[in-house]
Structure formats: structure tokens, C-alpha cells
Structure 1
Amino acid sequence: MIRLDPLFLCRGVALVAALLLSGCTSLDYYGQLAGGQLRLLHAREPVATIIADPSSDPKLRDHLIKSQQARVFASSHLHLPDNRSYRLYVDIGRPFVVWNVFATDEFSLDAMSQCFPIAGCVAYRGYYNPSDARGEAALQRLAGKDVYLSGVETYSTLGWFDDPIISSMLHWGDERLAALIFHELAHQLFYVKDDSEFNESYANFVEQEGGRQWRVARGLAPEKESDSKQRDQFTQLVLDARERLKKLYAQPLPPNEMRVRKAAEFERLRSDYRQMRDSQWAGDKRYDPWINAPMNNAKLLPFGLYDQWLPAFAALYKQVNGDWPAFYGEVKRLGGLPIGPRKAALRKLMGG
């Protein structure tokens, strides 16, 4: 499933002035970030209180009981931070906590990034109000950018706050909720400034491998191999399209010809998908809504964020014989390298 995060927010309004000194963006933008974060903080309540309250919704209580079992597993077995994060709950009354706006130039796959003094640069701008996100997206389109708008279920404050379980995290069931907890706690454990691909691929590996081990610990059958295989094949299909587009945009072509060839590449992606769906997936149409919706460069950005180095982290985990503390130690070692040697080390892990 395609998911976008994290949106890093600093410690409330006290840091808004400091952020402005960086010259990154406007008071209004940072104000809505600080205000949204403060509202979440004020609305938190202990999960244990909700579970113990007989008037609590039974379905919610059941979700939260299972979430706390996964939360204990995260620290005791996966060696993720043991703190109050995901032992609190907030009902936000909407499907997403934030909306992210991705934007690229017409003939580029480089994101228009948003920079923060502590967290560094990320590949999107995040908004708590969907109207604000739509407004930003409209402005970027008027400027001639390719734009993609996506809702986000949760995000990590990298340990600055005790992050809560948010009602938006419950929509896809208990397995998904556990996976989100593992992913976001991984961000709290380690985060590299200015390298979203490294951060998200690392956290995505912890999410996937942690989810597999969580199922084993409960005596459940592993995820259907067909589901994971389809997800991996679909992801690779999109990454292949990205590579073709990168090569196209590097060519010195006139704009009109570039637009025609760009459109042809997106049509090739759709055609390749349908061929794979019908010949290998028995017509399973789970990705049809995404593939049939309008396509542009910005829509492809999340795939590079979440999957680029996933095989490298899987190889690293295998090298340390599945020892989580040793794995995190190696992740920190890689993250401490300059960007060039870091990428070279990751490519080596992938056999490249």
C-alpha cells in the first residue's frame, strides 16, 4: 500500500521564530504546523484509560488492546524505543492527520523539498487542513509544476514528543496499525538529516520484517506470498518507469517533443501494468484506481522514498544474522557516512 510520511514538526510555537530565521518559508506555513501539532498534543489521552472505561466503544477498545500488544512487542522483541509513544490515543475525526503536497518540474523527478533546521529537507510540504493543501497544490500547478496530493495516516516527531495512536491509523485493521507503530518507532530510533530515501527505506524494512515476526509470534500464517509478490512487482514496475523518465529528461529535446515522449512513458507504465495484472495476477485489480488516475512525475516520488534501499537493509539484516541491536548499529554507522559513501555502501549491499 502506498503511504507517505513522516512529516516532522518541531516543539510547538516556541520554535516558529527560529524556523523563520532559516529563511525556508512563511509564518503562515510554520504557524499551521505548530498549531496542528499542539492540537494533537492537547487531545491525547492514555490508551489504558480508554481500555478501562466501560463506556468506551467496544470496537475501539479491541483495536487499542491489540495495539498495546504490538507496542510491547516493538520494544521487547524489535528493540525499538520504550517510551509513551503509541501508548496514547487521539481521535481526530477525519481520515488523515495531514496532507502532503509533492511537486516537481515538468521534466524532472527531483522533488521541490521543504527544509527544517533540525530534520533537514523532505520531499513534500505538509498541511493539517486539506483546504490549505489543495491551495498549495493549485499554486504549484499554476507555476507549471507536476503536483501530487496525498493524505497521511500518521507521522513521527522523531522522539521530540510522545506520539499518539491517531484514529486515522485504525482504518486498515490491526495488522496495519502494528506495522505503522513499528515504522514510526524506527524513525524515533534513528534518522538521517537530508536523506529521505535512506530514512524511509530503513523504517519500511523494520515495518515489514517486524510485521512478519509479529505474525509468527502470535502463531499466525505469514502474509500471503501472492500479496507481497504483487506489491513488489508493482513497485518495481513504477521504479522502472522512473528510470526511463530520468533518462528521457536528460536528453536535449524541445519541450513539445519531450511532452509527447513523457506522455508515452506513462502510457507504457499503464500498459505494462495491465499486462502483468492479466497474465500474472489473474486479473486482480487492486492497483487499478492508482494506475488509472491522472499521472505525472510527482505521483511517482513516494516510490523512491519508500523502496529504493529496501533490499540493502534486508541484506544488512541478514548479514548480522537477524540481530536487531546489531542491525541498528550498522544502520547508524551507514547513516554517519557522507552521502556519497553511504549510497555506495547501500549499492554494494544490493550487489550493485
Structure 2
Amino acid sequence: FSVKPVESCYLFAGCVSYRGFYSEEAAQRHSASLADKGYDVYVGGVAAYSTLGWFSDPVLSTFIHYPESEVARMVFHELAHQVAYVKGDTMFNESFAATVEEEGVHRWLAREGTPSQRAAHEDSRRRRSEFVALVMKYRAELAAFYDRPAEPEEKRAGKRRLFSAMQDEYLALKGSWGGFTGYDRLLARAANNALLASVASYSELVPAFRALLAQKHGDLPVFYAAVRELAKLDKSERDARLAVPSR
């Protein structure tokens, strides 16, 4: 029982907390093999990815018809991986890219967006923030619960109880979203440890990166330089600088 992800390792990308496939069938086969070993699994599609600067990353047909702010968000996120990337540290990489994405879209909308686009983005940002906070809350509770000595059946029962509580709290939270149901399918498909690990990889260090950006007075080149310096450190020292909690 753990909220830590199973890693897959690659030559150029190093070890990452997810595994990518170009075929959904292949992804489902791999998912089934992990589930057979007792792991929680989460399979989801992605509209974009980064080759980390090894190749030119095109704007893909999978997202070109998205709303402009969503296209901008994906482009900022994926290009951020070319600015700084650490082999074997998914949480650092994805949280940094999520911070760049967030700041990039904010600045792009301030300059290029319409009032309605800015309002829609703010609503989306607020919902995402509230959803992530909910998931991170229960991830912490589950991590603490799994660390306690207990028999497997007791842990299974506690796991079911905590995920049920998360679902109930989500339903209450959703009531304030004016009919938005965008996270329903996600939770219906995989409310499990794998989902928590996935959300954490893209979210847990965002507050630390936001604080670093603020410390650099919003100067992105200076911020990027500071992040590259962090990327040079050993993981233990980097985690300490970013105050990464142990799991």
C-alpha cells in the first residue's frame, strides 16, 4: 500500500512516474499486467508531449482545435521541459512545467485575451486548484494511514473508507461549480492510489516554484536560471531546498 508511483526508465528521459504509449491497446495491456500484480493503475490520454528538445515538437492535431487558452497552456507546459529537466525526478519536472504553464497563460491572457477568456480561465483555474487541493489532502491522509502497522485487510478497508470520503467531499465541492462536471469521469474511472500519484506529480511542488518566481520578482529568465541551478543538485538537496515531504 503506497501513494508512490511505479517508475519506468528510458535512455534519454531517465526514470519517470508514468509510461507513455502511442497505442491505447498497448497501454491497456500494460495496465492489466500491473493490476495483476496488485498495483493500482490509471490510464488516461494526453493531447501533447515533449521530446525534451531532441526533436522539434509540432502543434498536434490532438489539441489544435482546443480553445486558444488551452492551446497556449499546453505549449507553455511542454516547452518548459526544454528549459529545465532532471532525469529521474518527475515531480520536479512536471511541477516546474505546470508553474510555467500557469504563469505563461496568465501573461498571455492579460495581453492577448478577451474579458470572457480571462473570466473563463479564472473559473477553470479556481476549479482545478480546489480539485487538486482535495486530492492532495487525501493523498496525505492515505500516505499516513499506509505507514501505520496494520493487517492487509485492515488497510484495504481503510483505503476504501478514505476514498469514499474523498468522493463525498468532491460531490460537495462540485456543488459550488455551477454545473461543471469535468472531473466526474476522472474519478469514476480511477479513484485510486495511481490517480493520486499522477495529480501529485504535476502539483506538489507548484507552490514552491511559485514562491521562487515571486522571489525573483516575476523575472522569468532569472527564475529559469535559478531552476537550472536546482536541477544540478543531488535529489536530496534539491528536495530540501523545495521542502519536499517524504512519502
TM-score, length basis structure 1: 0.65
Query: Among 6, 11, 14, which residue is 1:117 paired with?
Result: 11
1:346 aligns with 2:216: no
Question: What is the alpha-carbon root mean square deviation over aligned residues?
Answer: 1.7
Q: CA deviation at 1:186?
A: 0.9
Q: Tell me how far apart the structure 1 counterparts of residues 31 and 196 of structure 2 sit (CA, whole Å).
A: 16
* Other structure's SS at 1:150 match: coil
Alpha carbons of structure 1 residues 167 and 314: separation in structure 2 relative to 1, 3 Å: same
Query: Among 298, 306, 330, which residue is 2:202 paired with?
Result: 306
1:136 aligns with 2:30: yes
Query: What residue number does 2:140 align with?
Result: 243
Query: Among 167, 176, 192, which residue is 1:296 paired with?
Result: 192
Query: What residue number does 1:148 align with?
Result: 42
1:276 aligns with 2:173: yes
Q: CA deviation at 1:239?
A: 0.5
1:254 aligns with 2:166: no
Query: What residue number does 1:104 align with?
Result: none
Asked whether the 8 Å contact 1:111–1:298 carries over to 2, the reply is yes
Query: What residue number does 1:201 align with?
Result: 95
Alignment of 1:1-352 (within 5 A): 107-218=1-112, 220-221=114-115, 222-224=118-120, 225-278=122-175, 280-282=176-178, 284-347=180-243
Aligned amino acid, residue 240 of structure 2: A
Aligned amino acid, residue 123 of structure 1: S
Q: CA deviation at 1:270?
A: 0.6
Q: CA deviation at 1:142?
A: 1.5
Q: CA deviation at 1:158?
A: 0.8
Aligned amino acid, residue 125 of structure 2: S
Asked whether the 8 Å contact 2:41–2:190 carries over to 1, the reply is no
Asked whether the 8 Å contact 1:212–1:223 carries over to 2, the reply is no
Query: What residue number does 1:48 align with?
Result: none
Aligned length: 241
Deviates more, 1:199-208 or 1:227-236: 227-236
Q: Tell me how far apart the structure 1 counterparts of residues 75 and 190 of structure 2 sit (CA, whole Å).
A: 31
Unaligned runs of 5+ in 2: none
Asked whether the 8 Å contact 1:204–1:310 carries over to 2, the reply is yes
Unaligned runs of 5+ in 1: 1-106
Q: CA deviation at 1:227?
A: 2.8
* Other structure's SS at 1:170 match: coil
Q: Tell me how far apart the structure 2 counterparts of residues 122 and 219 of structure 1 sit (CA, whole Å).
A: 35
Aligned amino acid, residue 314 of structure 1: R
Q: CA deviation at 1:283?
A: 5.0
Asked whether the 8 Å contact 1:270–1:292 carries over to 2, the reply is no
Aligned amino acid, residue 326 of structure 1: V
Q: CA deviation at 1:126?
A: 1.6
Alpha carbons of structure 1 residues 334 and 220: separation in structure 2 relative to 1, 3 Å: same
Q: Tell me how far apart the structure 2 counterparts of residues 286 and 127 of structure 1 sit (CA, whole Å).
A: 24
* Other structure's SS at 1:158 match: coil
Q: Tell me how far apart the structure 1 counterparts of residues 31 and 174 of structure 2 sit (CA, whole Å).
A: 31
* Other structure's SS at 1:115 match: strand
Asked whether the 8 Å contact 2:91–2:200 carries over to 1, the reply is yes
TM-score, length basis structure 2: 0.91
Q: Tell me how far apart the structure 1 counterparts of residues 183 and 124 of structure 2 sit (CA, whole Å).
A: 12
Alpha carbons of structure 1 residues 302 and 175: separation in structure 2 relative to 1, 3 Å: same
Deviates more, 1:294-303 or 1:184-193: 294-303
* Other structure's SS at 1:121 match: strand
Q: CA deviation at 1:328?
A: 0.5
